[in-house]
Structure 1
Amino acid sequence: MTDPSRTVPGDVAPEIAPSQALDDAGGSGSSSSRPPRRRRGMSRRARRDALVFLALAAPNLVLIAMFTYRPLILNIQYSMLDWTLGSRTATFIGLDNYIEFFTSAAGLESLRITAIFTLLTVGGAMVLGLLIALALNIDIPGRTVARSAVFAPYVLSGVGVGLVWLFIFDPNFGVLSWILRQLGLGSPQWFLDPDMSLVMVIIVYVWKNLGYCAIVYLGGLQSLSQDVMQAAELDGAGAVRRFVSVALPLLSPTTFFLLITTTLNSLQAFDLLRIMTPTGRGTNTMIFESYLQAFGGYSRAGYSATISVLLFVILIVMTVAQILFVERKVHYS
């Protein structure tokens, strides 16, 4: 008979872990009976980093709260008042200023001019900027000087640019009128005709900002993968086909960035409009109309605040819409 206590060769007896043995014996070594480990508090280094962060960020946060958010909240409050600038008293009228803006001919005209000005300045600056960037991307002598010359108007003062272009557009003594007379043509009444005044400021604004678009597009062109472009060339794609089918889609992040920044800048354009058309006849965009209502002789501070609030809402809506819908067509490599 086989001894049951004897281990058969080749058989392996299972080993019992000490913790398992204690558990089987009902001992106190069970992990469920151990007291929970206490979490340590914030370390000294973490507290120091937090204090350093607060010391550096607190002044900026206070300044932003005082000079950005507080004026915004006060402006919303003022927009609901019938308040004459300089008066110590004001009457609460609720949404009457907003209703007046959307029902008056002046308010709707301001919206129309703002839309035309923004659309033409953004589109003109981006299209011309892209064409100039393509020219500046060619390896030719003197392209560094050309790049500086193209970008220079963007960094110049809007007041100085406006004064120079006033001399150019002067119908009697301006450079443009002299050129037109040499061609046997008459000079348009840039300052008397509201439509021509709008055309004039659009031309100047596009000229001033196309250098910014050109330099940004130039950076995008120089960052394109040359392997992709060479592969398209080997496949038989011509220069135009490579640009339309390869380069332009790869430039979509640059185009998206420029679309947002130039739109915001155009909606807030003021200095050129104020210098070249002081009365705002034909060029009264929303921001310029807000200035005219408060400081242009009307002294309607409450109505001016209403236009500012509406412009702020338009800026927010356009930015969010571009991020939500336009960015879907952006191709990130």
Structure 2
Amino acid sequence: MIDRIPSIDIVRFSTSGTEAIQTALRGARVFTGRNLIMKMDGSYHGSGDIAEYDSFVSPVRKGLSPHIDKEVVIGYFNDERTFQIIDQYKDQLAAVIVEGVMGAAGIIPPENGFLNQLQEKCRQYGIVFILDEVISFRLANAGAQEIYGLEPDITTLGKVVGGGMAVGAFGGRADIMSVFNPSKPNAVHHSGTFAGTPIAAAAGIAMLKKYQGETIIHLNEKGNQFAEDLKDLIYEYNLPLTVTHIGSLLNLHAIDTPIKTVDDVRRGNQTVLQAIQLAMLNEGVFFPKRGMMSLSTAITTDEFEFVLAMFDRVFKKYSMFIE
């Protein structure tokens, strides 16, 4: 992992992406001596309190700490307002955490150099820039940071780096990661009985050796082609649907306007999207009701054609309902 990701000097392991992110945020607080964390509205960073909090979440209703709104400030992906908010809280922010590509929110790639500007703003104020690559790492040898020319202070990882086993990881600059060094006084505590288990490590090594270079390029090409074929079907049936995608990640949205932000996603017709999801399930194809699809190297050409044929059948059968 250190060889593949130039921004990582030291890496530590956990049992999940959630745990990796929680620990990375704790380390950023100790390193900076500040307390406030910024996350993007609608981003998913696991199930910790900080990660779960956004503009649509009630701490009481969701069981989060009633004081969580004093620990988190909300930014907005692909939105200039974010930089103004950072200027406002610059002396309080320990870290800004952001996804390389917004995943669960609807596969929204960064636009107009948003992540690069965000990184520079963090550098300006000594804020730890944390890039969550749990989902986006699959897109290149070094993930989204390779695609967009980023050098985050800390990178958080999971899923792909474990080859299907339970694993999480975070790593970054040596000076920041040194706060976890147990040989130092007042080190940040980080341990876990199953963190970096031999089975997960062996699976992860095998995965990283196989999933690189031409394999990633080929899967991304298949993903882009699949997304374009799906768009062609939407156009053929004149449906109010949109596909967002990058490489092997794509998302179907029940809205016919461009998707740039999570607010665009929220304007979609979730009833229609869930109806399509159920109809596809009845045809033998599963994807989550939010419309997200992550393609695998194991999917064959025949299987791609089958899925597209089922979309064709569903779009044709339900076109009157969808309109």
* TM more than 0.5: no
User: The TM-score by the shorter chain falls in which range?
Assistant: under 0.3
TM (norm. structure 1) is: 0.23
| Structure with more of its chain in helix, by fraction | 1
Scaled by the length of structure 2, what TM-score is found?
A: 0.24
Higher relative contact order structure (alpha carbons within 8 Å, sequence separation ≥ 6): 1
Bigger-Rg structure (1/2): 1
